[in-house]
Amino acid sequence: MAQLIYLDGELVEREQAKVSVYDHGLLYGDGVFEGIRAYHGRVFRLDEHIRRLERSAHAIMLDIPLSHDELVEATVQTCRANDVDDGYIRMVVTRGVGDLGLDPHKCPKPSVFIIAANIQLYPEELYEEGLSLITCSTRRNSPSSLDPGIKSLNYLNNILAKLECTNAGVAEGIMLTNAGMVSECTGDNIFITVGNELVTPPVEAGILDGITRAAVIELARDEGIRVVEKSFPVTEVYTADECFLTGTAAELVPVVRVDARRIGDGKPGPMTKRLLNRFRELTRSEGTPIGE
C-alpha cells in the first residue's frame, strides 16, 4: 500500500506530496512542527502536542488554517489511512508560498502537512545496555536570541551538534548553554539521578519543554521521587548515579557513558528502569483513539 500524506486538506501519495521551492518553510525555516507518537492504536498526548504547535505558531504570528479539532481529526485520519497503530507522526505548518524576500506578509496561505509512519530511533538493545554520549562543542542557541519554546523548522543548531555525534561514533550528544551549563541533547531532554532525586535542566536553560519530559516528571512525582529542575555543569553528569534521555521518538533511553566516563556502574540504573516501565504502561492506556 502506498504511503499517504496529509497535505492541505487532501491525502496524497508520498511521491505527489510536494511543496513549492518558494515556500518560506523551505527557503527560511519559517514554520513550526511537532513530532508525535502513536502506541497501541492511540495517539499519545495529541492535544498537548497540538497546543504546543499552536503556541509556537502564535509566537511567530503564523495563522494555522485548521482549528484544534480539525488538526486532531487530520492526524487520526492520516494514521488510519496508513494503518499506523504504532508509529511516529510529523505535523508541519509552513508559512507558505511567498517570494525570495524575507517578508512573511507576502505568504498569503500557510501550508499544513502530516506524515504518519513507522519509526524506531534506537534499537531495543540500547534500552537494555544504554547509550554513550559526548559533549558537543556546538553551543545551544541562546534563549535571549530565539525562544526554545518555539519548535521551529530551523534545526541547524541541533544538526551541527548531531554531526559531531556522528563523527564521534555515538548516537547523541549533550549541548551546553553559552554559560557552559547542560541544556539538552541534539534531539532529547536529559535527566540525571542523585540519590533519590531526579534532576533536569529548567526550561530557562534554553531547552524545549518536552511532552515526554513532562510525562516522566509526572510519573516520577507519582512514584515519590523528588524532581529538581536546576542548571548544572556536565561534571555533574559524570558523577551522577544514573542518566537518561527523553523524547518523543526515543521515549526514555538510559545513558551509561559520557565523554568516556562511566555513569554509575555503567549499566541502566533502577530508577531509569522503573520510570521506563511506568512510561510504557502509560502509553498503553492514554491517548486519542485512531480507530473509527
Task: Please give the positions annotated as active site.
Answer: 151
Which of 44, 88, 65 has its CA nearest to residue 211? 44
d(CA 185, CA 205): 12
Which of 30, 47, 49 has its CA nearest to residue 93? 30
Helix locations, 86-232, DSSP H: 124-129, 156-168, 211-222
Which residues touch 161 (CB under 8 Å, ≥6 apart)?
136, 138, 173, 175, 186
Helix locations, 142-247, DSSP H: 156-168, 211-222, 234-238
List the beta bridge partners of residue 97: 23
List the beta bridge partners of residue 243: 192, 255
d(CA 89, CA 34): 8
**Helix (H/G/I), strand (E/B), else coil: 281:** helix
**Helix (H/G/I), strand (E/B), else coil: 284:** helix
Burial class (CB in 10 A: 0-12, 13-18, 19+), 260: exposed
Q: Give residue for cell 507522526.
A: 89
202: left (phi over 0), alpha (psi -120 to 50) or beta: beta
End-to-end CA, the chain = 20
